[in-house]
Structure formats: C-alpha cells, structure tokens
Amino acid sequence: MAPVLHTVPMTFANVGSLGTKPGHRDTVVSILLRPMPGLKEAGCLLYEVGVNDEAPDTVFVCELWESPAAHKSSLQLDSVRAAIAEAMPMLSGEMGGNQFTVLGSPLR
C-alpha cells in the first residue's frame, strides 16, 4: 500500500503565555484584542486572548494556523509588527507554551 501523503497543510497550534510587567497585563490584552488586518488572510484560523486572575501578570494566547509557515509569515504583517512593538516594553520576558501539529478532534 502506498504511503499516505499529506496533500494539504497541517494545522499548526501555538498556545502560550506572555509574562507582563506588574500592572500592564490589561494594556497588553487590549493591544492584542485590536483587529489585526491581514491576520486571517495570512492563514490564521483562530486567535484567542485571555487571562486567569490566579496569574495576574500573564496574558494567555491560543492560536491555530493553516501551517507553521503561515504563523511565521504573519510576524511580518504591519499590524502584527506594530502590536509587538507596542507591547514589548510591557513584557517581562517570561514566555511559556507549546507548538504542535493538530491531528484532529473528537468533535469532528
């Protein structure tokens, strides 16, 4: 039997946390919640931003992309570069998270 070839890009997940300097979490959230023109066209399928009050200086993100390359290329979008530049001074440098290839869902 011939091997199965992936003829469509594999969905790529990027889930993580961004540490913020004390008191700056909500400002960073507000920057990430502004519409980022071009994001969907770049292959972004989902981009959720949130918080957990047990971690008051952390912003959480959960992103799905059409491919790893789509995620990488989005970092060149003007809207994304502007958001990163604006948020950067408020970040602590503590970053966490995981990247993985989505294989499917029990919902489908």
Per CB under 8 A, residues contacting its own copies are: 11, 13, 15, 17, 29, 32-36, 39-40, 44, 46-52, 55, 60, 62, 64, 79, 83, 96, 98-108
First to last CA, the chain: 26
What is the phi/psi pair of residue 14, to 5°? -130, 105
The nearest distance, CB 88 to its own copies, in angstroms, is 16
Nearer to its own copies, 23 or 37 (CB): 37
- Closest by Cα among 87, 11, 22, 75 to 49: 87
Nearer to its own copies, 24 or 47 (CB): 47
The nearest distance, CB 31 to its own copies, in angstroms, is 9
Nearer to its own copies, 23 or 46 (CB): 46
What is the phi/psi pair of residue 104, to 5°? 155, -165
CB 12 within 8 A of CB 74: no
The nearest distance, CB 26 to its own copies, in angstroms, is 9
CB 80 within 8 A of CB 39: yes
